[in-house]
Amino acid sequence: MASREDDDDFGWRGVGTALGALLAALVLVAVVVFLAMSSRARDEAVAAERHTYDVTLLTRTLDSSIARAEAALGRFVLDEDVKTSGNIYYSQWRLAGTQLQQLERLVAGDPQQSRRVDQLEQLYQRRGDEFALVARATVAKRGGTGYFYGAANSDTGRDLSAKLAEIATSERRTLEERMAQTKIFAARTQRLTEYLSILGVIVGLGAIFLGWVAFRAVRLNALARRLAETEADRASALEEAVRERTQELWEANQALKAEAAERLAAEAQLRQVQKMEAVGQLTGGIAHDFNNMLAVVVGGIDLAKRRLNGPRREVQHHLANAMEGATRAAALTRRLLSFARSEPLLPERVDSRELVTGMSELLDRTLGERIKIVTELDADAWPVFVDSHQLENAILNLAVNARDAMDGTGTLTIETANVTMAANEVGDVRPGEYLKLSVTDTGCGMTDEVRERAFEPFFTTKPIGKGTGLGLSQIFGFAHQSGGEVGIESELGKGTTVSLYLPRTEAVAPVKLHPQATGGETDPTVPGARILLVEDDPRVRAATVGALEDLDYQPTSCSSGAEAIELFDNNEFDLVISDVIMPEMTGPELVRILKARKPEVAVLFVTGYVGEGESEDLIGYELLRKPFTVGALATAVASALARPVNEPRRSGGAAAAG
């Protein structure tokens, strides 16, 4: 019985052992399977991380290539060196295209990223078109700088960088998710490894009964350790690769910063070159024209001095030449001030139909009988608020240019129309309602190059001595100073149309500016009138006192506002003649003080230049511009003395015109 019990116990023990061994084998197999699955999942997560790093690095590299292409294009615009700067721009842009194709292949398995890359390709094509336009303009020498500034400020560049950033951001989010998965799989693998080690210990304790099971468990344990070491080595290698990629990204970022600084320096240098070019052109033109006019003045005066004892007619001839040269110099100064927008406008409500109709006789006399003048004036033309004298000068300048373009024979058409303009529809015009005043000729027309340079100061296609090149520049300055714009349409062999766009107004603010007549009858004088003359320049003061004495006035002169106030308090004066720009106290400031003490005193301002903020202080008073003749001075003094003293003042402290 005992033997049978022992056998039965051995049998049950054997069965138990076999079942235990089988269970241990199943557990071991399960652990190995789970370990293999975890390792494969971790390998996939690591590969996904590597893919994310590749995509992120490629977006940074693509952005850097585009930036280098833009910087090279900027240098190409500056030095126009096709072989160096141009080739660098072309190669960098082609490299960016190749990198974009690589990026498209990398994200082919991600529908969302593929859609973003498609949008990036569209922006890349659009940016390429903008850069190509700049390159063509630079090669053709048609002002590539303006196109480059337009491309630099285009929204396409910002959209392109934003789209690259969006792709990189999406990949970074994906990278974070994949790194989290990698950590989960690594922890799971670690736990399974620990379970496997425990199972190995259990199998080792039962090695006496299950030797072959223990042996296999040891082998599996050794294999698991080797796999763990391999994964550790791979993790170290991956960490080193990440460090290398990070270093590459940092170096690329430093290169981008350096290129950005270089581009800013190039832009500053370009602005300085353009400014110096404009200053040099303007200075050269002024020096040339003023030297010619001063030669006439100096030569005429010198010849008159040499012939003072000779025939009177010859002396008068030379003095007349000197006066003509001085008058032309004064006209050039006014044109320069108008071009620089430093000459203030004294605007009034102007009806274009009445103004053009009133100029018909002047235009006929100026252009000659061989020019046919046609007017097409809108009966309902909107009124404008401009300086009528400047507008007349602009129309007259355009008519004279048209006559020269038609070689003295042809048809000149002056047309007005009401138009509504969109922003930048013509030049820098602002949106709104405008009166369009057009002057059209049937002359030779302009080439594209001439039309682009038409408004440059001292640029002219006329022969030497036939023009200063300031006519269209003056018109350009007048239009912009009046809040409008000017445009040119021209075709070779068919003629040219120059259009002034002046903003519509309903304001009514008449202003009087005394004309500087050099001849003809003057207003009646008031003999013996007491005049206080305030002029800081001693030569101008002496000449003006002499002229006033010749006109039978009683002038008292001084050089500053403080002296004028002292004289005014101790004497009686009928008229105050004051320069506008003086040190310590300006003319308008002096007049406000004198008017407060004696409101009925008459005032005449004399000036050669008025700043932007001072023209409002002159409204309501007579104004005489330097240089002036004795006749112009007599007319201005008589008009100032005849002006009513009780005229109402306009709001803001300026006097209303009578």
Query: What are the phi and psi torsion angles at 531 (to 5°)?
Result: -125, 130
Print the domain residue range for 482. 348-503
Helices 2-79 and 111-139 sit at what angle, rounded to 10 degrees? 20
Taking the CA atoms of residue 378, residue 381, residue 387 and residue 392 in that order, the dihedral angle to the nearest 10 degrees is 0
* Biggest distance spanned by C-alpha atoms of the chain: 174
- pLDDT at position 419, please? 93
- Residue 647 in any domain: the answer is no
Give the mean pLDDT of 66-79: 82
Same domain, 116 and 173: yes
Give the single-character DSSP code of 463.
Answer: P
Same domain, 434 and 561: no
Give the mean pLDDT of 629-642: 88
> 117: which 2 tokens?
């890359």
What is the sign, positive or negative, of the torsion defined by CA atoms of 208, 210, 212, 215?
A: negative
Same domain, 152 and 236: yes
Same domain, 457 and 601: no
- Residue 513 in any domain: the answer is no
- pLDDT at position 440, please? 93
Whole-angstrom distance between the N-terminal and C-terminal Cα of the chain? Answer: 149
CB atoms within 10 A of CB 639: 19
More confident residue, 32 or 173: 173
Count of structural domains within the chain: 3
The answer to pTM > 0.85 is no
Q: Above pLDDT 70, what percent of the chain? A: 76
Which of 241, 275, 309 is the last residue before a domain boundary?
Answer: 275
- pLDDT at position 647, please? 45
Give which of 333, 328, 283 is closest to 610, Cα–Cα: 333
- Residue 553 in any domain: the answer is yes
Distance CA 31, CA 25 (A): 10
Give the mean pLDDT of 571-589: 91
Distance CA 454, CA 471 (A): 10
Give which of 562, 653, 573 is closest to 615, Cα–Cα: 653
- Residue 300 in any domain: the answer is no
Same domain, 499 and 377: yes
For 295-338, the pLDDT digits (tens) are: 667 666 766 666 677 777 777 776 777 777 677 677 666 655 55
More confident residue, 335 or 106: 106
Taking the CA atoms of residue 352, residue 357, residue 358 and residue 364 in that order, the dihedral angle to the nearest 10 degrees is 130
- pLDDT at position 285, please? 55
For 460-506, the pLDDT digits (tens) are: 665 544 454 456 777 887 888 888 999 999 888 888 999 999 998 87
- Residue 576 in any domain: the answer is yes
For 201-224, the pLDDT digits (tens) are: 776 676 576 677 767 777 888 888
Distance CA 22, CA 15 (A): 10
- Residue 395 in any domain: the answer is yes
More confident residue, 336 or 568: 568
More confident residue, 138 or 653: 138
Query: What are the phi and psi torsion angles at 492 (to 5°)?
Result: -60, 130
Residue 410 DSSP SS3: strand
Query: What are the phi and psi torsion angles at 148 (to 5°)?
Result: -65, -40
Which residues share a beta bridge with 373? 412
Which of 210-224, 342-356, 596-610 has maximum average pLDDT?
596-610
Split at pLDDT 50, 70, 90, the class of 14 is low
For 166-179, the pLDDT digits (tens) are: 888 888 888 787 77
- pLDDT at position 510, please? 44
Same domain, 554 and 621: yes
- pLDDT at position 303, please? 63
Which of 174-178, 260-264, 421-425 has maximum average pLDDT?
421-425
- pLDDT at position 465, please? 46
Same domain, 119 and 163: yes
Do 437 and 498 form a contact (C-beta atoms < 8 A)?
Answer: no
- Residue 609 in any domain: the answer is yes
> 106: which 2 tokens?
């990398």
Residue 364 DSSP SS3: helix
